[in-house]
Structure formats: structure tokens, C-alpha cells
Amino acid sequence: MKVISQNTAFGGMQGVFAHESSACNCEMTFAVFVPPQAISEPRPVLWYLSGLTCTHANVMEKGEYRRMAAELGLIIVCPDTSPRGNDVADELTNWQMGKGAGFYLDATEMPWSEHYRMYTYITEELPALVSQHFRMDMSRQGIFGHSMGGHGAMTIALKHPDRFKSCSAFAPIVQPSTADWSVPAFEKYLGPDRSTWRRYDACALVEDGARFPEFLIDQGKADSFLDNGLRPWLFEEAINGTGIGLTLRMHERYDHSYYFISTFMDDHLKWHAERLR
């Protein structure tokens, strides 16, 4: 692991690091914020997964999480959204496919399967790496994300309820197997057999028996992607009668941007901190 940058913020440390990833078969970059409390004791870990077109830097620079994370003593890990590099497959004119659009799945179709194994990277490789270098309490982990990252956070939590104690999302894609944003990408990454898509679809996972205690979702009503991509009401319908808890907050005038995310970031950090005590 090599250090790209380290900066002091709110008594803690904001770092950016890179390493050679065996899962993604390329160099991967990620960010970690370590609160001041981690000097003396292991602290809970909160994973933030970013959305389409983003890198680790979007939330790090615009998410406004450090002050509250330092106050609550939360370590925040911000991975990239996809593999990177000159030899990594991409679609240069399609922002919904390729670099910046890994959808947190393990691709099975060529040429994507050579590098696009973000599910394995997030759930196996990166946790093993960061737990060696930072004072983390891996028995207290939460996960959240935005848009495509909200989709990733929810599906990962549903498949790992033994690992994660909390999950929330900003404007998540809750049913990517039918959304305009994601259907073409899923077909290219995973092939035409839609039954294989269900393992990366929050609604389908619930229908197939996956369970998680509760979710927090914030959604802006002025989000231009609400009706054809996000559709949080579908998840509300999917969990009906399952015992899964859901706090779904719909906000007037808010859109899909980091202005929206930064407004409610403190709420999400406090919500996770309560469940990670």
C-alpha cells in the first residue's frame, strides 16, 4: 500500500492510498478518514460507496463527513467505483458502463470479467488490506452509499447481515435489473440470463429470502433520475411483510447532487453510530 496524500482534519487524518489489486487486476485507489479516537483504541468502520462517474474523491471533497465522523469516532473508508488503467475495458462515450460504473458486481462476461470484480474487491480484498493498516474494530461495520453506491451498499448488506450492523443510502438504485440506468450494463457485465442478475438487485434479494434488520433511505423529490432509475417505492413494496425495517424520507426540492448528500450526511453518520456502539 502506498501513500498518495495525508492531511490532518478535525484532529484526525484524511488519507488517500493505492495498492495493486488482485481482484481487479490493476492498481486501485481509496480514501480513509481516521478519527482522533483511533490513536488509543480500535474504532467502528463505515464504508461509503460512491455513484456512477465518481471516484473516491467525490465524497471526500464534497460529502462533508469529517467533522461529524471525528466527533463520533467513526473510520470512513471510501473505495473507488471501478477498476482503472489503460488496459481496463471501457466505453468512452457511455457514462453508465465501464470506468466509473462498476456497479459493485463481479462481471462474468469478457472483456469485463478481466478487471470488473468490484464485489470481491469491496467484500474481501479491501477489508483485509485496510484492517492490517488502521486501528479498526471489524466487529462493528456499517455500509452506505449514493445512487449506484446505494445499490451496492444495500445488496452487500443483504448478503452479509452477519458482518454489517447498519446500512443506509442516498437515492439508491433499488431494482437495477429493471432500471434504465443499469439494464444495459448488467447485460454486458453478467450476460443475458437475468436470473444471474438477482444477486445484485436489492428487491430481488429480498424476494429470494435475504434479510437485514433495517435501512435508512433519503431521496430528493426533485431528483431527475427518480422515476426511471431509482424508484425507492419498489423496495418499500418488496420488504412488505418481511420484518425488514425501513425509514424512507422523501425531501422536497432536493436533487441527486452532493448538495443533497452533504445536507443529510450528519443524519446518516449519527444513525450508523447508534447501531455501531
Q: What burial letters (b/e) apply to 223-251, b meaning 16+ CB within 10 Å?
A: bebbeebbbbeebeebbeeeebeeeeeeb
Locate 220 and state its grid cell: 430528493
CA distances from 93 to 96, 97, 98, 216 (A): 9, 9, 10, 34
User: Which is catalytic among the residues 82, 147, 166, 168?
Assistant: 147
- Confirm whether 218 is a catalytic residue: no
Name the 3-class secondary structure at 231: coil
Count how many residues are written for the chain.
277
User: Which is catalytic among the residues 151, 256, 268, 272?
Assistant: 256
- Confirm whether 151 is a catalytic residue: no
Q: Is residue 85 a contact partner of residue 26, using CB atoms and an 8 Å limit?
A: yes
User: Which is catalytic among the residues 146, 223, 268, 272?
Assistant: 223
Locate 221 and state its grid cell: 423529490
Which residues, listed in sequence order, are joined to residue 259 by a DSSP beta bridge? none
Active site residues: 147, 223, 256
